[in-house]
Structure 1
Amino acid sequence: MNKYQSLLDRQREFFLTDATKSEPWRLDQLERMERLLCDNQQAFCDALYQDFRKPPFEQLFEITVPLGVIDYYRRHLAELMAPQPAPVPPGLAAEGYRGEIHMEPYGPTLVIGPFNAPVLLLLDPAIAALAAGNPVVLKPANMTPTVAALFQTLIPQYFAPEAVSIVTGGREEISALLELPFDFIFFTGSATVGKVVMRAAAEHLTPVILELGGQNPTVVDATANLDIAVDRIAWGHNAISGQWCIAPGYVYVHRSIADDFIARLKRSLTAMYGEDPSASPDFARMISEHDTRRVASYIVPEKVVHGGRFDIPGRYVEPTVLYPSTWDDPAMQQEIFGPVLPVLPYDDLGEVIETIKRKPRSLAAYIFSRDQAAVDRFLGSVSFGGGCVNQTNLHCWIDSLPFGGVGLSGMGKYYGKAGFDALSNTKAMLIGNPDKVLDVFPPYAGKDIAKILSVFS
């Protein structure tokens, strides 16, 4: 018998009592999650630093964002839960019929979190699931053992196991969990593991949200404000030491401004992280020696125009800029997920767009331009999960903007209302008139069939 079967059975039996469908239960879970974060803020910050030296801003970011999500659901829960009217054909409306959409929870939900934001990207989906009325099993990343151990200690202190449970461990534990017929699975991580999750979910026809990644394109055209662009790209690419699924993966810069862009980008990186970023309190470490070695292998010495140093035992790769890069370079063959930034010069935006369109669709994309026609052309032609114009990364902080990927970068959206809707079954209802006859029954001989059908149009 699967060692986690009893855990799932307990949550399912509780779910079948309908207790989780009530607004008070959902608000109580949100309040418990809020207390867990507020009571233990320093402990979470210390754990994040211990696991990969996350700097203070990035530590607090992982706490404040989930708190903002909780606040959103607390303020909007009643309206999100309320049945929504839906129009029906005029003929049916004339007969006293009306449509309604009811949002109901799926049931026990498995949330598998990643290492790069091990608090935020575990709790944000869990908060949406709880707001939607689903019990949750949390599986934190084993690559951040201090954070995982802290969750393992705290979750039982704040939640009943039939509401929220936690399972720690690695591949064996994930495999065992994926064998079970959860009612929903939310996974954040690599496309490789995402395919494993989806195959397992298919065995039970379990719906999934997959938040994956990819090489996120960034375009800087000749009209861009370069001082704004370099700061936002430098920060967006190097936050969490580049281990951010929405980080700019590479930059196409118009050839006429490329040298100026590189010079300003180097100044920006030095201003943010100093001459020796290894001594900066604001620069995180790679998650493992393996990943440090992988990212360091992308550094082509003759193309290094900034940075280039690394320390594998120290899990450190310096913020590095490669120029001029091409699609043949090692760094352009996959998602970098580290602080190495390829920069490619371009002459024609149309050619750039055609090249990007033929690559796997990305989780994010960014364009810096004052030319609205160029912006419209880029957004209208390139498919990606979400992104920014004249900014990077910040779209993932806005609860009114659905967040998620497309194609190999994922499926399904969440945040705010989108998260509530995604983690709810949309139950469509036609409410009939109990006292008025609507004759759609056989025998049809002698009946005006066109008239009968007209009520549905």
Structure 2
Amino acid sequence: MPIPSGLESEGYRGVIHKEPYGSTLVIGPFNAPVLLLLDPAIAALAAGNPVVLKPANTTPTVAALFQKLIPEYFAPEAVAIVTGGRSEIAELLELPFDFIFFTGSAAVGKVVMRAAAEHLTPVILELGGQNPTVVDASANLDVAVDQIAWGHNAISGQWCIAPGYVYVHRSIADDFIARLKRSITAMYGEDPSLSPDFARMISEHDAGRVVSYIQPEKVVHGGRFDVQARYVEPTILYPSTWDDPAMQQEIFGPVLPVLPYDDLSEVIDTIKRKPKALAAYIFSKNQVDIDRFLKSVSFGGGCVNQTNLHCWIDSLPFGGVGMSGMGKYYGKAGFDALSNTKSLLIGNPDKLLDVFPPYAGKDIARNLSVFAG
């Protein structure tokens, strides 16, 4: 590594070593129970860390599969798996792990971070939040509606990077709504409950929670549900406002509020007053507006004229900011995040750099000048 030229001329070298943090706890979510457990585990293992995996208790089939397969392919000291619910997680969090990787809600993320603080354990937290989407007057609506309809309703809206709400320019709002309705119907049919491509909510509790956000007077598409069957139809709420129940938290379900706007500056000011999102999206052909949005709004990552796909690309570091999480991973970023960077200055064994007392009569400034340049 580059070091001051004066030190280099004295025979010194700068070296960086990457070393494992140590035992790493990976707590996975329910919505991508394989991918979001294995991706962090791969980053940890690539950096040399032994891993304890904790699958979500709401995906017992996946947990049972991991319990069967992990011991077949890994030594227990390399990868272990712990199943169970809250009590098992609480016991795990009492242990002095060297690193913790958690994917889930902000509420549980705070619990994990408090527990990690007891041992000063570093963490990566992949959380969520309300992900803003902006569609301006210059946008290609056919592209925008398909991306948003898919991005919001895939996995029944239960992924942390789904568009959470849409700001659409008032001049194209009616056209946008009409096209979005057609796009949803084209993807999932007149009755999405019959579609093999439309998922169910993870639990009756979550189905009921999402249903509580539906305001019948604002439903312009969908609105049907069956809580016992964990089914909530892809639903559009329009015109939405920030006073609506659906705008008070991350929806994590197939209910999409749409808000009309007149001035992009006001939209940006509003979004900036909200907690920072994990993702954000803008559909526009106006590069000035695109640049203004991207430079003004802080978020973990996102797309321009696209949704969601940034999280599938290993060369793009993925993670949140603020309330949507901390730390980035994927590819080399994951290796770096799960490695301690050990910086070393290798001295010349045959040459003394005299910076020692007594200082009287010594030209200390000259001796220290090797650190310049």
Aligned match of 2:188: 273
Rounded to whole Å, the distance in 1 between the matches of 2:203 and 2:70 is: 26
Q: How far has the Cα of 1:447 moved from its partner?
A: 1.0
Aligned match of 2:325: 410
TM-score, structure 2 as length reference? 0.99
Aligned match of 2:110: 195
Query: Is 1:175 the counterpart of 2:90 in the alignment?
Result: yes
Matches within 5 A, 1:321-360: 321-360=236-275
TM-score, structure 1 as length reference? 0.81
Aligned match of 2:303: 388
SS of structure 1 residue aligned to 2:62 = helix
Partner of residue 235 from structure 1, selected from 150, 158, 161: 150
Query: Is 1:320 the counterpart of 2:235 in the alignment?
Result: yes
SS of structure 1 residue aligned to 2:155 = helix
Aligned match of 1:108: 23
Query: Is 1:140 the counterpart of 2:62 in the alignment?
Result: no
Q: How far has the Cα of 1:146 moved from its partner?
A: 1.1
Q: How far has the Cα of 1:437 moved from its partner?
A: 2.4
Q: How far has the Cα of 1:93 moved from its partner?
A: 1.3
Rounded to whole Å, the distance in 1 between the matches of 2:206 and 2:357 is: 69
- Amino acid in the other structure paired with 2:342: K
Q: After the TM superposition, which parts of structure 1 deviate over 4 Å for at least 4 consecutive aligned residues?
A: none
Rounded to whole Å, the distance in 1 between the matches of 2:258 and 2:367 is: 65
Q: How far has the Cα of 1:363 moved from its partner?
A: 0.3
Report the identity percentage: 88
Query: Is 1:221 the counterpart of 2:136 in the alignment?
Result: yes
SS of structure 1 residue aligned to 2:145 = helix
Query: Is 1:293 the counterpart of 2:214 in the alignment?
Result: no
Q: How far has the Cα of 1:197 moved from its partner?
A: 0.3
Aligned match of 1:375: 290
Aligned match of 1:34: none
Q: How far has the Cα of 1:439 moved from its partner?
A: 1.3
- How many residues are treated as equivalent by the alignment? 372
SS of structure 1 residue aligned to 2:328 = coil
Matches within 5 A, 1:91-102: 91-102=6-17
Rounded to whole Å, the distance in 2 between the matches of 1:363 and 1:224 is: 23
Rounded to whole Å, the distance in 1 between the matches of 2:238 and 2:369 is: 66
Partner of residue 125 from structure 2, selected from 210, 214, 217: 210
Rounded to whole Å, the distance in 1 between the matches of 2:8 and 2:293 is: 43
Matches within 5 A, 1:75-90: 86-90=1-5
Rounded to whole Å, the distance in 2 between the matches of 1:306 and 1:441 is: 78
- Amino acid in the other structure paired with 2:354: D
Matches within 5 A, 1:47-58: none
Q: How far has the Cα of 1:435 moved from its partner?
A: 1.7
Rounded to whole Å, the distance in 2 between the matches of 1:347 and 1:453 is: 61
Aligned match of 1:19: none
Q: How far has the Cα of 1:89 moved from its partner?
A: 1.2
Aligned match of 1:163: 78
Query: Is 1:252 the counterpart of 2:167 in the alignment?
Result: yes
Rounded to whole Å, the distance in 2 between the matches of 1:179 and 1:227 is: 51
| CA RMSD, 1 decimal | 0.7
Partner of residue 310 from structure 1, selected from 225, 229, 251: 225
Aligned match of 2:315: 400
- Amino acid in the other structure paired with 1:184: F
Gaps of 5+ in 1: 1-85
SS of structure 1 residue aligned to 2:344 = strand
For residues 14-53 of structure 1, what are the alpha-carbon distances to aligned partners after superposition, in whole Å with 9 as ceiling and x for unaligned?
xxxxxxxxxxxxxxxxxxxxxxxxxxxxxxxxxxxxxxxx
Q: How far has the Cα of 1:454 moved from its partner?
A: 1.4
Aligned match of 2:69: 154
Rounded to whole Å, the distance in 1 between the matches of 2:314 and 2:367 is: 45
Rounded to whole Å, the distance in 1 between the matches of 2:165 and 2:207 is: 19
Rounded to whole Å, the distance in 2 between the matches of 1:220 and 1:97 is: 56
Aligned match of 1:129: 44
Greater relative contact order (CA < 8 Å, ≥ 6 in sequence): 2
Rounded to whole Å, the distance in 1 between the matches of 2:165 and 2:142 is: 18
Partner of residue 178 from structure 2, selected from 263, 266, 290: 263
Q: How far has the Cα of 1:102 moved from its partner?
A: 0.8
Which of the pair is proportionally richer in helix? 1
Q: How far has the Cα of 1:415 moved from its partner?
A: 0.3
Rounded to whole Å, the distance in 2 between the matches of 1:202 and 1:316 is: 39
For residues 49-103 of structure 1, what are the alpha-carbon distances to aligned partners after superposition, in whole Å with 9 as ceiling and x for unaligned?
xxxxxxxxxxxxxxxxxxxxxxxxxxxxxxxxxxxxx211121112111211111
Gaps of 5+ in 2: none
Rounded to whole Å, the distance in 2 between the matches of 1:365 and 1:453 is: 49
Aligned match of 1:448: 363
Q: How far has the Cα of 1:150 moved from its partner?
A: 1.3
- Amino acid in the other structure paired with 2:49: N
Relative to structure 2, which stretch is displaced further, 254-263 or 94-103? 94-103
